[in-house]
Structure 1
Amino acid sequence: MNGQEYLQQLEQRLAHYYDKKPLPKAPAFVLAAELNAADEGYFIIPNLKTYSVQHNEYLYAARFDKQLTAEMAAPYLQFTKEAMAALKTTTEHMSSIYALVFICEAGVDDKTLADLQKLRQHKDYCFTLKGWSDLALYIVDIPAQRLYCNKAGAKEKALFEFAKA
Structure 2
Amino acid sequence: MKDGIKMDGQAYLQLLQQRLQRYFDCKPTPEELPFALVAELNAADEGYFIVPSIKTYSVQHNEYLYVQRFEQPLTMAMVQPYLNYLRQKMQNLVTTTEHMNSLFALVLVCEKGLEPSVQQELTTFKYHKDYCFSLKGWSDLAVFIADLPNRQLSYNKAGRKTAAYFDFPH
TM-score, normalised with respect to structure 2: 0.95
Return the match for 2:138 from 132, 147, 155.
132
Q: How far apart, CA to CA, are the structure 1 residues paired with 2:73 and 2:140?
A: 26
Residue 151 in structure 1 maps to residue 157 in structure 2: yes
> Equivalent residue for 2:47?
41
Which of residues 26, 32, 36 is equivalent to 2:32? 26
More helix by share: 1
* Structure 2 residue aligned with 1:80: 86
Aligned to 2:103: 97
Q: How far is the alpha carbon of 1:133 from its aligned partner?
A: 0.3
Give the residue type in structure 1 aligned to 2:34: A
Q: Name 1:114's counterpart in structure 2.
A: 120
| 7, 13, 17: which one aligns with 1:7 | 13
Q: Is 1:66 aligned to 2:72, yes or no? A: yes
**Separation in 2 of the partners of 1:65 and 1:93?**
37
Q: CA deviation at 1:108?
A: 1.1
In structure 1, distance between residues paired with 2:154 and 2:111: 14
Which secondary structure state, in structure 1, belongs to the residue aligned with residue 77 of structure 2?
A: helix
CA displacement, residues 55-112 of structure 1 (integer Å, 9 cap, x when unaligned): 0000000000011000000000001000000100000000000011000001011111
- Note the residue ranges of structure 1 that are not aligned, 5 or more in a row: none
CA distance, structure 2, for counterparts of residue 26 and residue 48 of structure 1: 43
Select the residue among 52, 55, 61 that pairs with 2:61: 55
State, as a whole percentage, how many aligned pairs show the same letter. Answer: 56
Gaps of 5+ in 2: 1-6
Any idea what the Cα deviations from partners look like across 1:132-157, whole Å, max 9, x if unmatched? 00011100001001000000001111
Q: TM-score, normalised by structure 1?
A: 0.98
Deviating 4+ runs (over 4 angstroms):
none
